[in-house]
C-alpha cells in the first residue's frame, strides 16, 4: 500500500480516501487555478510513483519531470480550447498498459476549456474507463462542467480542505444557515484528529459517513436528511460533546 501521508498530506480528505483505497478513478478537482495545480500535481505524482508514494521518494518516476513522464498525459488548451483530437489522442494512449507506473494519468487542465465535442468524447471514455487510468479533471467551478461528466466523477472541493483544523461543533449541523459541506469537512478533520489520538474503529466508520455525506451533497442528496443522519452518527460515536 502506498503511503499518502506526505504527498497528499495537505488535503486531509484526499489523503484519507487514498489511504483507505477510496480514491475515485475519475476525480474532478474544483478550486482556483493555484489550488487545482498543486492538488493535481500531487495526485499525479502519487499515482505515478513506483515506490512508497512519499514526498522524498527517489524512484525513476519521481525523478522524472512530470510532463516528461511516459505515463503522464497533461492535456492543456492549444490556443484557447482543448479540442476533440487532443482528448482522443490522450484516451487512446491510455488504452495500452502504462510503461513505468501502476497507472496512466490523464489530466485535463482545465476541463472547462474543452469544446463540447471534446467533452462528449471524454464522457464516453469515463463511461468505460481502463482499470489503469487515473482521470484528473480540474475546473474553477463545477457548474461549468457538463452534468453528465460531473456525475461520473468523485468531486473534490479544494477550498476549505487546505485549512488543517477548523473548529467543529455538532450543533452546527442543526444550523441551516451554515455551509454544510464546509462543516462536514471540518467534522471529518476533527474525527481524523480524534482517531490519531484514540484508534477506535467506530471513528473510521464515522469518517466514512462524513466523506459519503460530503460527496452526497454534490449528488443533491437531501440536506436535511444529511444533517440529521450525521448528527445521529456523531452522537452515537463521539457523544454529545
Ligand atoms: Zn516514487
In a domain, 157, yes or no: no
Q: State whether 126 and 45 are in the same domain.
A: yes
Q: State whether 19 and 80 are in the same domain.
A: yes
In angstroms, what is the span from residue 207 Cα to ligand 1's centroid? 28
In angstroms, what is the span from residue 44 Cα to ligand 1's centroid? 11
Q: State whether 16 and 122 are in the same domain.
A: yes
In angstroms, what is the span from residue 79 Cα to ligand 1's centroid? 33
> Residue 28 — φ and ψ, nearest 5°?
-105, 110
pLDDT score, position 185: 86
pLDDT score, position 128: 92
Q: What is the pLDDT of residues 46-85, one digit of tens each?
A: 999 999 888 889 999 999 999 999 999 999 999 899 999 9
Closest CA to 122 of 77, 85, 165, 67: 85
Please answer whether residues 172 and 237 qualify as being in contact, where contact means their C-beta atoms are separated by less than 8 angstroms.
Answer: no
In angstroms, what is the span from residue 50 Cα to ligand 1's centroid? 5
In a domain, 138, yes or no: no
In angstroms, what is the span from residue 101 Cα to ligand 1's centroid? 9
In angstroms, what is the span from residue 13 Cα to ligand 1's centroid? 22
pLDDT score, position 240: 67
C-alpha separations of 161 from 52, 88, 230 in Å: 24, 33, 19
Task: Quickly count: other Cβ atoms within 10 Å of residue 27's Cβ.
Answer: 22
147 grid coordinates? 452534468
In angstroms, what is the span from residue 56 Cα to ligand 1's centroid? 8
In angstroms, what is the span from residue 145 Cα to ligand 1's centroid? 32
In a domain, 145, yes or no: no
In angstroms, what is the span from residue 46 Cα to ligand 1's centroid? 8
Place of cell 519531470: 65
Q: State whether 98 and 11 are in the same domain.
A: yes
In a domain, 183, yes or no: yes
In angstroms, what is the span from residue 26 Cα to ligand 1's centroid? 21
In angstroms, what is the span from residue 17 Cα to ligand 1's centroid? 19
pTM: predicted TM-score of the whole model, two decimal places: 0.72
Q: State whether 16 and 120 are in the same domain.
A: yes
Q: State whether 188 and 124 are in the same domain.
A: no
Question: Residue 122 is inside which H or E element, if any?
Answer: helix 116-127
Q: State whether 38 and 96 are in the same domain.
A: yes
Q: State whether 101 and 210 are in the same domain.
A: no
Q: Burial letters for 60-97: b for 16+ Cβ neighbours within 10 Å, e otherwise?
A: ebbebebeebebbbbbeeeeeebbbebbbebbeebeee
What is the 3-state composition of the chain as percent helix, strand, coil, each rounded to the nearest 5? 50, 10, 40
In angstroms, what is the span from residue 108 Cα to ligand 1's centroid? 23
Beta strands in the chain (DSSP E): 26-30, 72-75, 104-108, 133-139, 154-157
Q: What is the CATH number of the domain that holds 46?
A: 3.40.50.300
pLDDT < 50 positions in the chain: 160-164
pLDDT score, position 164: 47
Q: Burial letters for 135-155: b for 16+ Cβ neighbours within 10 Å, e otherwise?
A: bbbbbeebeebbeebbebbbb
In angstroms, what is the span from residue 12 Cα to ligand 1's centroid? 20
Q: State whether 123 and 191 are in the same domain.
A: no
In angstroms, what is the span from residue 119 Cα to ligand 1's centroid? 31
Edge to edge, what strands does the sheet with 133-139 contain?
72-75, 104-108, 133-139, 26-30, 154-157
In a domain, 124, yes or no: yes
User: With left for phi above 0 and alpha for psi between -120 and 50, is residue 236 left, alpha or beta?
Assistant: alpha
In angstroms, what is the span from residue 65 Cα to ligand 1's centroid? 12
pLDDT score, position 162: 42
In a domain, 156, yes or no: no
222 grid coordinates? 437531501
Q: State whether 208 and 127 are in the same domain.
A: no
Closest CA to 230 of 159, 150, 177, 168: 168
pLDDT score, position 156: 85
Tell me the C-alpha distance between 101 and 119, whole Å. Answer: 26
Q: State whether 120 and 175 are in the same domain.
A: no
pLDDT score, position 55: 83
In a domain, 139, yes or no: no
Q: State whether 127 and 208 are in the same domain.
A: no
pLDDT score, position 117: 96
Closest CA to 103 of 44, 147, 155: 44
Number of domains in the chain: 2
In a domain, 149, yes or no: no
Residues of the domain holding 101: 5-23+34-105+113-132
Amino acid at each position: 500500500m502506498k503511503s499518502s501521508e506526505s504527498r497528499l498530506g495537505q488535503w486531509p480528505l484526499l489523503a484519507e480516501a487514498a489511504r483507505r483505497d477510496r480514491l475515485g478513478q475519475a476525480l474532478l478537482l474544483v478550486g482556483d487555478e493555484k489550488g487545482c495545480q498543486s492538488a493535481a500535481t500531487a495526485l499525479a505524482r502519487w499515482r505515478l510513483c513506483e515506490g512508497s508514494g512519499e514526498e522524498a521518494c527517489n524512484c525513476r518516476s519521481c525523478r522524472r519531470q512530470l510532463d516528461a513522464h511516459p505515463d503522464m498525459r497533461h492535456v492543456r488548451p492549444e490556443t484557447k480550447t482543448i479540442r476533440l483530437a487532443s482528448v482522443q489522442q490522450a484516451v487512446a494512449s491510455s488504452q495500452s498498459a502504462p510503461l513505468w507506473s501502476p497507472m496512466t494519468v490523464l489530466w485535463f487542465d482545465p476541463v472547462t476549456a474543452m469544446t463540447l465535442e471534446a467533452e462528449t468524447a471524454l464522457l464516453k471514455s469515463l463511461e468505460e474507463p481502463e482499470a489503469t487510468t487515473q482521470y484528473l479533471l480540474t475546473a474553477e467551478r463545477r457548474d461549468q462542467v457538463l452534468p453528465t461528466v460531473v456525475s461520473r466523477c468523485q468531486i473534490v472541493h479544494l477550498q476549505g480542505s487546505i485549512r488543517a483544523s477548523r473548529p467543529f461543533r455538532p450543533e452546527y449541523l442543526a444550523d441551516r444557515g451554515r455551509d454544510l459541506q464546509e462543516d462536514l469537512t471540518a467534522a471529518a478533520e476533527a474525527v481524523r484528529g480524534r482517531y490519531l489520538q484514540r484508534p477506535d474503529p467506530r471513528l473510521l466508520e464515522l469518517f466514512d459517513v462524513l466523506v459519503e455525506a460530503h460527496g452526497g451533497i454534490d449528488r443533491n442528496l437531501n440536506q436535511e436528511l444529511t444533517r440529521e443522519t450525521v448528527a445521529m452518527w456523531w452522537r452515537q460515536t463521539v457523544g454529545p460533546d
